[in-house]
Amino acid sequence: MRVLVIGAGALSGYYGACLVRAGGDVTFLVREKRAEQLRRNGLQVVSPHGDFAVQPKLLAASDLKHPFDVVLVGVKAYSLDDAMSQFAPAVGPNTMILPILNGLKHIDALSARFGGACVLGGLANVSAGLDADGRVVQFMANQTIVFGEIEGALSERVSALETLLQVPGIDVRASEAIMQDMWEKFVQLSTLAGITCLMRASIGDILAVPNGEQSIFRLFAECCAVATASGFEPRAPFIEFDRKLFTTLDSPLKASMLRDIERGSITEAEHILGDMANRARALGIDTPLLDLARAHVAAYEVGRRRAGG
């Protein structure tokens, strides 16, 4: 399969580099500044599993003329509209679009633009970022991609894509319940982003203060209630996993949204916290902590824009 990876940031750069290393037919659609950096230094990955570098095939949007078999979309939510316009020529009638963005809102946007038949559900569990030199730095050892048909069932094309993605550095799983998986990730991320941004602290530091643990789980309960009312009640193994995740003493865990705030960058707050809060309002569910977290990050964004950020 011919794979087009959109961008070469933390998510797309990591998974795309693993595919290139394994000999995949992979091309990266990147802007000129990033292209110059990659031509000069290669696409470098710093990982707990061992560092490596590849020399990727690069393409500018103006040179994109023909469809690809797979389009892997791992951009930030606020860049999606621009990205869709750029990679539109790569989408043919048999193209699979695999988005690994956070949240759910992007599924509607992609389906509206390209048709629901092209779009798979997907999520990525990898903790990574770009350093000052443009290297992809994997902070923790997790590196999972889960994906599947929006309507469920294990299709032939999903099975073929699972085989393609079974390379060193990627733990891949085709799912027959991808929307359930995505909703659980949405709940987890909304809780993590909401509480760490609201408190401007890691999970470990929040647990160390009075009512810290109670605040985490109040927010978690609000987000679970939205998922349940939407028809995707979180499953027991997920609840147990997150209970351990959110009660690990001295945990340095914080949302990437908080890391964005700490460096004065734009955030995905409305795509995550805003979308969860809007869904709650539509369902008549009261979410006071979620609303406060959303307002907190929204106020940060107002100040960032006023300062010219």
Could you give the residue numbers annotated as active site? 185
The token pair at 268 is 């995905």
Which amino acid belongs to residue 147? F
Token look-up 């982003």 returns: 193
Q: Is 73 helix (H, G, I), strand (E, B) or coil?
A: strand
- Residue 234's alpha-carbon distances to 145, 179, 240, 293, in angstroms, are 19, 11, 10, 22
Contact 206, 215 (CB under 8 A): yes
Beta-carbon count within 10 A of 295 CB: 14
End-to-end CA distance of the chain: 40
Q: Which helix (H) or strand (E) holds 135?
A: none
How far, in Å, are 2, 29, 119, 146, 153 from residue 161 at the CA level? 11, 20, 13, 11, 14
Angle between helices 275-283 and 212-229 (to 10 degrees): 60
> Hey, what long-range contacts does 199-203 have (CB within 8 A, 24 or more apart)?
200/258, 200/261, 201/254, 202/251, 202/252, 202/253, 202/254, 203/245, 203/246, 203/248, 203/251, 203/252, 203/253, 203/254
What is the DSSP pairing of strand 57-59 with strand 52-54? unpaired
